[in-house]
A and B are shown apart, each in its own frame.
Chain A
Amino acid sequence: MTGQPTDAALVAAARSGSDAAFARIVDRYQSPVRSFLRRVCVYESDADDIAQEVFLTAWTRLRLLDDGRKLKSWLFGIAWRQSRMTARSMARSRDRDQAWHGLQDQTETPDREMHLAMQQALAQLPEDQRAAVALCLAGGWTHQDASDVLEMPLGTVKSHVSRGRARLMEILGVSG
């Protein structure tokens, strides 16, 4: 059988010094982590820098991860904390974000328009609500798992998701 190695197996190999195993972890989780960060960060241009920092932090602290099967939620927990820290400290993001949007305007597509509309709508939500929405509505996480990652009570997550969803629909002018 030639199945994909499990997270626990990759974590064990990376802990023993295998760069190849860690690169596979990066490949496996770069897309969801970067997507999450793009939704959570007000300035999207910071998201990939933070994502890189997330994986670097993960590499440094890999030995502190008790259970390799929890790798995904552990990575998202790091991403959430990192994005909060960065949001407080990165004033330079504003200029970079404007420059980035300037570049993107040249290659506008329907998908791009929808994405920008969603980014602008997300930016109007409070930080915690944005994170809950990004995990549960965009990422398909359960409320319980999101509550573990975001270190918030389950009820708070449910409330954030429900209110965030209603607010997004109102801002985007869609009805469901």
Chain B
Amino acid sequence: MTRESEHQADPLAAFFEAGDVASVDPAFRVDVMEAVARRRFRISLAIRAAILAGLVLVAALLMPVINHVAAALGAPLLEILVILLATGLVAYAARAWLQRHPALPHVSWRRFRIF
């Protein structure tokens, strides 16, 4: 059926067609992708803040044990432990830097994953 015959068949078709949005509007796409980037940044920030808060909490809870272990290890071994921890932190920061475009967040709590 041609468009003309379609209009003859349905008198409302021309009215609807007049209100159709033109195929692709690049400005609209840009607006959406900017909004996506902003939301991704906020999600990523929230996840990292939650991890940091978790780590601080765990460290506070484990402080008596950490003090005990530090005392037992002595100065030389404690330095090695500090170096290992610092290396781990640097590795984590580097990984976060390399993954500046993280995958979509898992919003289902059951399947929640950080990376």
Q: How large is the interface on B (under 10, 10 to 19, 20 to 34, 35 or more residues)?
A: 20 to 34
Asked if A168 CB lies within 8 Å of chain B CBs, one says yes
**How many contacts A-B (CB < 8 Å)?**
111
Q: Contact at A174–B11, with CB atoms within 8 Å?
A: yes
What's the minimum C-beta distance from B50 to chain A, rounded to whole angstroms? 17
> CA of A139 to CA of B39 in the docked complex: distance in angstroms?
31
Q: A51-B28, A63-B108 are in contact. Are A39 and B35 (CB under 8 A)?
A: no
> CA of A169 to CA of B10 in the docked complex: distance in angstroms?
10
Q: Contact at B101–A168, with CB atoms within 8 Å?
A: no
Q: Contact at A64–B107, with CB atoms within 8 Å?
A: yes
Q: Write the residues of chain B forming the contact surface with A, with a CB cutoff of 8 angstroms.
A: 9-12, 14-16, 18-25, 28-29, 31-33, 35-36, 39, 101-108, 111
Q: Contact at B19–A59, with CB atoms within 8 Å?
A: no
On chain A, the number of residues with a Cβ less than 8 Å from chain B's Cβ atoms is 43
Encoded as 1 (CB less than 8 Å from any B CB) or 0, chain A from 1 to 41 comes to 00000000000001111010011001100110011001100
Q: What residues on B are CB-neighbors of A61 within 8 Å?
A: 107
> Which 8 A-B residue pairs are closest in the complex by CB-CB distance?
A114-B18, A17-B103, A138-B16, A174-B11, A115-B18, A115-B19, A118-B15, A111-B18
